[in-house]
């Protein structure tokens, strides 16, 4: 775009420490008491009525916290560990977690699904949804 911006050279750690130590004035931000008071939601629900069908897209959001591994032990037995949880929204936007399993994870996930007991170690957060027009979408982050 042909724009440029000259950024001042960053301070060294010693210069920053000196600046913080001897700076005049408070570095703490204090809210203005004359501003409007905004109440925070404490009941973990939407602050408006979202029970109508126009808000079905909210209830379509599913969050899978996938923690799965499998391997064969020395005796040839297949050892599986599945700590998958499913998070979802209720009628009024209340959010809750429940136990689930990798069998319930949608096929769009990159979760390996070996036919036999191969070595697998997989952790991710997989989110899927349907938008207001019914189109399917998803994101997955492995960690």
- Which pLDDT does position 20 carry in this prediction? 73
Q: Looking at residue 11, what is its pLDDT?
A: 79
DSSP letters, 18-67, are HHHHH--S--S----TTSPP-PPP-SSS-SS---SGGGHHHHT-EEEEEE
- pLDDT per 10-residue tile (average), the chain, 143 residues: 60 75 60 58 66 88 97 95 96 93 96 91 97 94 96
Q: Nearest 5°: phi and psi at 107? A: -60, -20
The pLDDT of residue 26: 53
Residue extents of the structural domains in the chain: 53-142
State the Cα–Cα distance between residues 99 and 29, nearest whole angstrom. 42
């Amino acid at each position: 775009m042909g724009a440029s911006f000259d950024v001042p050279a960053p301070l060294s750690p010693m210069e920053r420490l000196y600046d913080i130590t001897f700076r005049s004035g408070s570095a703490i931000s204090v809210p203005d008491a004359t501003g409007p008071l905004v109440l925070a939601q404490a009941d973990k629900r939407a602050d408006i009525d979202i029970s109508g069908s126009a808000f079905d897209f909210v209830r379509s959001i599913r969050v899978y916290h996938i923690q799965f591994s499998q391997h064969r032990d020395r005796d040839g037995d297949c050892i599986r560990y599945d700590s998958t949880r499913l998070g979802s929204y209720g009628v009024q936007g209340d959010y809750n977690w429940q136990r689930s399993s990798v069998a319930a994870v949608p096929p769009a996930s990159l979760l390996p699904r070996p036919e036999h007991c191969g070595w697998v170690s997989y952790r991710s957060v997989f989110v899927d949804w349907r938008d207001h027009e019914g189109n399917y979408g998803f994101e997955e982050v492995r960690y």
